[in-house]
Amino acid sequence: MDDKLLSCRDCGAKISKNSDHCPKCGAPNYVRKKKMELLMGIGNLICLILAIIIFIYLNKHFKPILHHGSPRARPAAQIRR
Ligand SMILES: [Zn+2]
């Protein structure tokens, strides 16, 4: 029945789920705030995972170049011996 209404934690007044603040006392809508924080947290997590995937991808594809860099230098050194 009252799915769209929440009780204010501070004064007990009914707040709309879509409202950011209690209309009676002005306290923030904790449920909405929590939801927003959760969404932002998930967004940050996705960004972090993407960054890790990109890092692993770059590491995998560019590490051989860095480690075996200048492969022509080795035969040249062998010829001198
Ligand atoms: Zn209130």
Q: Report pLDDT digits (tens) over 22-49.
A: 999 999 988 888 999 999 999 999 999 9
Residue 1 CA to ligand 1 center (angstroms) comes to 21
Q: Who surrounds ion ligand 1 at CB < 5 A?
A: 8, 10-11, 13, 22, 24-25, 27
Query: What residues have CB less than 8 Å from 9, skipping those under 6 apart?
Result: 27, 30
Residue 14 CA to ligand 1 center (angstroms) comes to 8
Predicted confidence (pLDDT) at residue 2 exceeds the cutoff of 80: no
Residue 34 CA to ligand 1 center (angstroms) comes to 16
**Tell me, what's the pLDDT at 4?**
87
Predicted confidence (pLDDT) at residue 5 exceeds the cutoff of 60: yes
**Tell me, what's the pLDDT at 13?**
94
Looking up tokens 């990109």 gives 54
* Mean pLDDT score, 50-62: 92
61 falls in which pLDDT band (50, 70, 90)?
confident
Instruction: Report if pTM > 0.75.
Output: no
